[in-house]
Structure 1
């Protein structure tokens, strides 16, 4: 069984707390009126609420860290070399459409380098985590790189830009 560091545990606790509200909100998505204003506003409110929870929990544990938050932007901490990087609702389009493939993403950066990360997908209760020098895990199982050498033997997934975002032709 994998042993998580104190830093990873802080991130996991914050993600689990924010997840409770997001899961509750996710259950309400199907009841929303399908219009541009209604669901989009609802998801924005869910995003902001989760971001507030994450900020509070992470700041409580590491008050000296700065933040780079998807919704509220950057704020400096007393330790100029350390910050949290947070996406409170990674997969908003899926969330909005009632698809269970969304997560909370948290990274810890020190001296410009990502040193730890947590991605928590609460609907499937999947916790992906990694720390520099300690490996990568899903829940308590170590992740390993495949032995496959030929591209045609591999499964590859990506997010392709849509609705005028990004360079769609390049991705195709």
Structure 2
């Protein structure tokens, strides 16, 4: 395992310990609203602090982009951190949330960790070296047709600008696929796509820290990731499509007619 990936794993597990302890006593947590339907708890902040401590101890000159504390430092090496992706699930005791850590070097994703502390599932990837769940090599699914595909997504819950476009896509895919699922952690949804549990995934308006690690997992598992035009602008736009190569293309074809100029 690459030293940077090993450090990210250590950081993710440290955060996972904090999250698991807090999950045993949810009623005592302090929770704040960042914005409509966007919650932050003391656990998010403690987990992020723990991650940063581990990373900066090993790499003190690296930059960090983290959900709760924003941008820190200036370096060609940047860690991208979501300390608790799926906070709403966590606060309700719904065990579908994750820690997401990615490394970006000169704008290119190079390492990724998505850790599910409730199941102790550790998804990792290094560019050019494959993706893994614990010690098992991951490959995207072999599903060839959308009609046989299980697709993951995320509902708009903060910004409803693209709600009509989203509902149009959802309505069509509901009729064209084997099923749609909305578990509530985009990082895990992408990890599941890498593992072949989902055949594809799409969502509007995500943040860089929601998708950076998961995107590399999908790519290193043999899948494709793009924005709604199939291009590589998904980290900037927040609009993402991922899947095995055949389902990826069919998802783009289904999504395209529903997009407004703003959604593109």
- Shorter-normalised TM range: 0.7 to 0.9
**Cα distance in 2 between the residues matched to 1:16 and 1:103:** 11
**2:42 maps to 1:72:** no
TM-score, normalization: structure 2? 0.58
**2:29 maps to 1:51:** no
- Which residue is 1:83 aligned to? 78
Contact kept, 8 Å, 1:128 with 1:137, in 2: the verdict is: yes
- Which residue is 1:162 aligned to? 157
Contact kept, 8 Å, 1:68 with 1:85, in 2: the verdict is: yes
**2:153 maps to 1:153:** no
SS at match of 2:21: helix
Contact kept, 8 Å, 1:43 with 1:96, in 2: the verdict is: no
TM-score, normalization: structure 1? 0.87
Alpha-carbon distance, 1:119 to partner: 0.5
The answer for unaligned runs of 5 or more in structure 1 is none
1:125-154 CA-partner distances (Å, limit 9, x unpaired): 000111100111111111112222110111
1:39-68 CA-partner distances (Å, limit 9, x unpaired): 447952111111111110000111121000
The within-5 A match list for 1:75-154 is 75-77=72-74, 80-154=75-149
The answer for unaligned runs of 5 or more in structure 2 is 34-38, 168-264
SS at match of 2:128: coil
1:14-44 CA-partner distances (Å, limit 9, x unpaired): 1111111111111111x359xxxx5447952
Number of aligned residues: 162
